[in-house]
Structure 1
Amino acid sequence: MPELPEIFNIARQMNKELFSKKIILVDVRQEKCLNMPANDFKSLLNNKIIGPITSRGKWVFVKLEPDAYFLLSLGMGGNVLYHKSGEELPDKYHLKLEFHDDSILTIGFWWFGYCHAVSAYTLETHKMTSKLGLSPIDEKEFNYDSFDSVLQGRRGNIKSFLMNQKYIAGIGNVYIQDILFKAKLHPNRKIPDIAENERRKLFEAIRTNLKEAVELGGLAYEKDLYNRPGRVEDFLVGYRETSPCPECGTEIRKIRTGSTATYICPSCQK
């Protein structure tokens, strides 16, 4: 499942390839991924000019000039692929956008995903994106004070908080593993019990871990816009059950935290 680093890179690549292009054809092969009937969706996208393309959390925001947005979430995984004129297309996809220069964008989901269209006037009420939290890749928006502010008054465990998209957008069950290890925090640690120095360490772990993943192009088993894999292959504790902790040598354990699994060093993470 793609998380912030993968989506950030895809959005950046889409902006490079698609900005200012005109959509001339919309081919919907799976209407279930839309937020409206296929004909309405096509009408909203057809003949629009692509504006700036950005991301927040696990969503891509495509501005459609002058007054609409195309919103994309890969859900549990999928491919967004760019094809130059004449290049072979994948056998299966759920949505295809053709542009005035004969280039094509195909989108396919492995399990489920979302291709939504909204007017610029209703973007702020779009249920799945309007309440997304802080973007930890944005240095102006995500600073220690803003991070500490959203922690105030929370009483649950730290893992659940970090994965709640309305507080911090983009962290999932992959990157959370080494973030918590770097911060030396147990996933079930209650937020009120985390001291300020530990909060600062967690803040830095979030920033550095995600920034490094972005620079490496995301996870090795996820693909970018050009069908190339990322270069994040190794984890400190994530998915390394029974291996020795890289800092103290204690055997890494896999535990259940709610409905998800977490990999921890029982000695380092308290």
Structure 2
Amino acid sequence: MLEAPEALYISEQLNQTIKGKTISFVCAGYTPHKFAWFYGDPTNYPAMLTGKTVGEAHAYGGVIEIDIEDVRLLISDGTNIRYYAPGEKLPEKHQLLVAFEDESCLMGSVRMYAAIMCFPAGSFHCDYTPYREKAIRKPQVLSDAFDKTYFLSLINSEEKQKKTAKAFLATEQTIPGLGNGVLQDILFKARIHPKTRICTLSEKQKETLFHCVKDVFQEIYQAGGRNSETDLFGHRGRYIPFLSKDTAGKPCPVCGEDIRKESYLGGSIYYCVECQKINA
């Protein structure tokens, strides 16, 4: 699943690749997928998009949204989005195909679940609305607005004190685009166990956590994403996580203790029992 650093990287690739192109053909919902969510009837997307010129692509958390004249095309974090140059062979299965006058194409395919939504600018009302609004309204981690003062206002709020580190960072869109995939390395670098409660963290630990959030996001972005994800051209990211399914059971790179895997809050957590002790 794409997270914020990868969404930002791909949005910049989109601006370098398809911005200014005119759409000649659109197909949405071609391959049935029960966990692909569309805005309204996807058979209306060709009429909404064909003949229009692509504008700016934006990243809001793990969501990419593209301005296309008077409409918007939203692609959520569970979508593989690929660009195909003229003449390249296209996959047979897809949930979105946008072709341009130069015969290049943009294609989206849903993995586990995702939203692909085309809607009039300024008019977005569906179950996905609160998720989108939070992602747009809140400061993006790699922006100047996401500073230490802002982060401390989040982590020091009364409602967060009983939450664990994982629950604080990766649920309820406290930080849009920060999910389970990026979470593991942030907490490892901060030397904080995923189950540590926020109320037990010292001020120094909170500041360290802030810097680790910023640093890990920046490292992933500069590497073009994690090695489990692909960019607009199908290239795998160069960021290799310290903690993931690939390192579970292997020695910690710092102390040599085995990396543990555990189910927690609807997903897996990975941690080093020696480096990431739970606060008393």
Common topology (TM > 0.5): yes
Q: Distance in 1 between matches of 2:264 and 2:112?
A: 24
Q: Distance in 2 between matches of 1:145 and 1:59?
A: 25
- The answer to whether 1:159 aligns with 2:166 is yes
**Count of residues paired in the alignment:** 265
Amino acid at match of 2:46: K
Give the 5 Å matches for 1:97-108: 97-108=98-109
Q: Distance in 1 between matches of 2:146 and 2:172?
A: 14
1:251 counterpart (258, 264, 267):
258
* Kept after mapping to 2: 8 A contact 1:56/1:170: yes
Q: Distance in 2 between matches of 1:215 and 1:165?
A: 27
* Kept after mapping to 1: 8 A contact 2:190/2:208: yes
> What's the counterpart of residue 95 of structure 2?
94
* Kept after mapping to 2: 8 A contact 1:123/1:130: no
Q: Distance in 1 between matches of 2:208 and 2:62?
A: 24
> What's the counterpart of residue 72 of structure 1?
75
Q: Distance in 1 between matches of 2:46 and 2:172?
A: 29
The farther-off stretch of 93-102 and 29-38 is 29-38
Give the 5 Å matches for 1:168-187: 168-187=175-194
Q: Distance in 1 between matches of 2:125 and 2:113?
A: 23
The alignment partner of 1:10 has SS state of helix
The farther-off stretch of 160-169 and 246-255 is 246-255
The alpha-carbon distance between structure 1 residues 220 and 90, as it changes in their structure 2 partners (threshold 3 A), is: same
The alignment partner of 2:117 has SS state of strand
* Kept after mapping to 1: 8 A contact 2:134/2:176: no
> What's the counterpart of residue 210 of structure 2?
203
**Structure 1: runs of 5+ lacking an equivalent:** none
- The answer to whether 1:143 aligns with 2:147 is yes
The alignment partner of 2:180 has SS state of coil
Q: Distance in 2 between matches of 1:223 and 1:252?
A: 26
- The answer to whether 1:128 aligns with 2:140 is no
1:229-256 residue CA offsets vs partner (Å, 9 max, x unmatched)? 11123x3333323323222233322223
Q: Distance in 1 between matches of 2:254 and 2:85?
A: 47
Superposition deviation, residue 47 in structure 1: 2.2
> What's the counterpart of residue 17 of structure 2?
17
Superposition deviation, residue 262 in structure 1: 1.1
**Structure 2: runs of 5+ lacking an equivalent:** none
The alignment partner of 1:27 has SS state of strand
- The answer to whether 1:38 aligns with 2:42 is yes
1:109-161 residue CA offsets vs partner (Å, 9 max, x unmatched)? 223221112222125983331122432122x1211111111222213111012
Amino acid at match of 1:62: I
TM-score, structure 2 as length reference: 0.87
The alignment partner of 1:12 has SS state of helix
Q: Distance in 2 between matches of 1:224 and 1:108?
A: 13
Superposition deviation, residue 40 in structure 1: 2.9
TM-score, structure 1 as length reference: 0.90
Give the 5 Å matches for 1:182-261: 182-233=189-240, 235-239=241-245, 240-261=247-268
The alignment partner of 1:128 has SS state of helix
Q: Distance in 1 between matches of 2:61 and 2:12?
A: 13
The alignment partner of 1:181 has SS state of helix
1:198-239 residue CA offsets vs partner (Å, 9 max, x unmatched)? 111001111111111111111223221111111123x33333
Superposition deviation, residue 37 in structure 1: 0.8
Percent identical: 29
* Kept after mapping to 1: 8 A contact 2:226/2:239: yes
Q: Distance in 1 between matches of 2:264 and 2:271?
A: 11
1:155-194 residue CA offsets vs partner (Å, 9 max, x unmatched)? 3111012112521011121221111011111111111221
Q: Distance in 1 between matches of 2:243 and 2:84?
A: 37
